[in-house]
Amino acid sequence: MSGKPLQPCLVIHRRDYRNSSLLLELFTLDEGRMPAIARGAKSGRAPRAALLQPFTPLQVSFSGKGEIKTLGQVEPEGQVFSLNGKRLYCGFYLNELLMRLLQRNDPHQQLFAHYVTVLSALANGASIDECLRDFEVKLLRELGYALLLDRECETHTPVVADKLYAYVIEQGPLESPQHDSAVSVDVHGRTLLCLQHGLAMDRTTRLEAKALMRRILAFYLGDKPLKSRELFRGFVQPE
Amino acid sequence: MASQPLLDQLITALRCLPGVGAKTAQRMSYYLLDRDREGGKHLARVLAEAMQQIGHCSRCRTLTEMEVCRLCANPQRDASLLCVVETPADQSMIEQAIDYRGRYFVLGGHLSPLDGIGPREIGLDLLDQRLAEGEVEEMILATNATVEGEATAQYIHDMAKARSIKTTRIAHGVPMGGELEYVDGVTLAHAFRGRAEF
């Protein structure tokens, strides 16, 4: 075996390839999102398929020169983030966001750290809404779409918790009372400040934050809706 | 433009099979043409018929050329037990290995939002109708021990819970004849959590 350096990564998605191989989409610390093939992962005496799953922190090495690298060594790195029930769907939601918004081979070391943090928080029973909103804000910031949350976008005065703002996408909170729901979302200052600082939210703030982030993400995601949201609908009652 | 020689067409066509590359396809073609024309003709006939006629069972979604598959139509089968599997291959594996007398529901995949596969794509609306009929008393979730299989099981469990139907999940862990030393940590952790009273 060659002594190629190992690097931390998590599997975002996997699908079967040929008889016993897996085609993986990885989120690595040093290279961002990248595809890789794990040859023979499902066969042999010690199949690696059990390790090569989403939400399992790994250390891996690669070889090959093309876009799709071949996976070499795979080592587990600590405990699996065990997500149950709705938290598992949240994990899929996060992965779908990464898959849709991250470009391949574009390193985001900070975002990788945020991703590990949010998975660990979800696995340890933290509030689902707060975890997801916090990650969404950080994700957009890392991608270069940082949201203006603590200042009014025209006057640049600090946002006041009790005031109602109209949040204009790609600009920020606007104090003027004009309402055009096609381009803006009504939101209280308190919600904006919670999002900015990752603070604990009450029920109203949570709903407002969810509606706001959904509109903002929809803007960056384009027409195709997120499939993982379907999992939350229907039979599973919202919290 | 001259059309491709028939032999080349045959070789190319055979490559649509999984695990069959150019070399194997060529060997298969020569074998059928040189040694076993009858077998080849028979294969062609059966293949054409199968592709034409085989569809999905309207009850359990498994592959069958009938409206309702043999298993679903069999009155000897216990209708209060329903085993949910991902593929027809999983179903036949259980059929062969275990003396299971209940019925099946074949999803034809698992929930995988990143591949665009949601609850509707794996027939969960049909499964919900089936549960609504009230015949099923216990549902055995035999989806794969992958993250996606787990999510699928969870989703179906929630559906069943809404209708107060008991669900069980097949056990995961150390394979028979397996030595703990060679089992990976993830599997071992699962086996440990799911330990049963001795």
- The full set of domain ranges for chain A reads 7-76, 86-233
The arithmetic mean of pLDDT across residues B99-107, rounded, is 95
Residue B155: name the closest of B130, B191, B125 by CA.
B125
CB pair distance less than 8 Å for B159 and A235: yes
- In a mutational test of the A interface, the residue from B87, B112, B114, B117 whose CB has the highest number of chain A CBs within 10 Å is B114
CB pair distance less than 8 Å for A46 and B182: yes
Specify the pLDDT at position B189: 84
User: Rounded to a whole number, what is the largest CA-CA distance in chain A?
Assistant: 67
CB pair distance less than 8 Å for B114 and A95: yes
Sign of CA dihedral B40, B45, B48, B51: negative
Is the CB of A38 inside 8 Å of chain B's CB atoms?
no
Specify the pLDDT at position A45: 66
Q: For A78, name the nearest residue in chain B, comparing CA atoms only.
A: B185
How far is A85 from chain B, CA to nearest CA, in Å?
Answer: 6
CB pair distance less than 8 Å for A46 and B187: no
What is the SS3 assignment for B133? Answer: coil
What is the SS3 assignment for B189? Answer: helix
Is the CB of B18 inside 8 Å of chain A's CB atoms?
yes
For residues B62 and B82, what is the distance between their CA atoms, to the nearest angstrom?
A: 13
Residue B104: name the closest of B54, B141, B76 by CA.
B141
Is the CB of B94 inside 8 Å of chain A's CB atoms?
no
CB pair distance less than 8 Å for A96 and B18: no
* Residue A47: band (very low, low, confident or very high) from pLDDT cuts 50, 70, 90: confident
Is the CB of A23 inside 8 Å of chain B's CB atoms?
no
pTM of the model as a whole: 0.87
CB contact set of A135 (below 8 Å; sequence gap of 6+): A94, A114, A115, A118
Residue A151 DSSP label: B
How does pLDDT run across A117-156, given as a tens digit for each residue? Answer: 999 999 999 999 999 999 999 999 999 999 999 999 888 8
Is residue A33 predicted with pLDDT exceeding 70? yes
CB pair distance less than 8 Å for B150 and A15: no
Specify the pLDDT at position B35: 94
How far is B38 from chain A, CA to nearest CA, in Å?
Answer: 29
For residues B112 and B107, what is the distance between their CA atoms, to the nearest angstrom?
A: 12
φ/ψ of A27, rounded to 5, equals -115, 105
Residue B51: C-alpha distances to residues A16, A135, B48, B64 (Å): 24, 48, 5, 11
- In a mutational test of the B interface, the residue from A87, A235, A237, A239 whose CB has the highest number of chain B CBs within 10 Å is A235
What is the third-level CATH fold of A86-233? de novo design (two linked rop proteins) (1.20.1440)
Share of chain A above pLDDT 70, in %: 93
Q: What is the amino acid identity at position B99?
A: D
φ/ψ of A97, rounded to 5, equals -60, -45
Q: What is the ipTM of this complex?
A: 0.84
Q: Where are the beta strands (DSSP E) in B53-179?
A: 55-56, 63-64, 78-85, 102-106, 138-142, 166-169
Pick the CATH number of A7-76 from 2.40.50.140, 2.40.50.1070, 3.40.50.2000, 3.90.1150.10: 2.40.50.140
Of A2-16, A82-96, B84-98, minimum mean pLDDT range: A2-16
Is residue A171 predicted with pLDDT exceeding 70? yes
How far is B114 from chain A, CA to nearest CA, in Å?
Answer: 6
Q: For B128, name the nearest residue in chain A, comparing CA atoms only.
A: A235
How far is B158 from chain A, CA to nearest CA, in Å?
Answer: 6
Specify the pLDDT at position A3: 65
A2 φ/ψ sector (left φ>0, alpha ψ -120 to 50, else beta): beta
Is the CB of B113 inside 8 Å of chain A's CB atoms?
yes
* Residue B57: band (very low, low, confident or very high) from pLDDT cuts 50, 70, 90: very high
Both tokens of A76, joined, read 């587990």
Is residue A238 predicted with pLDDT exceeding 50? no
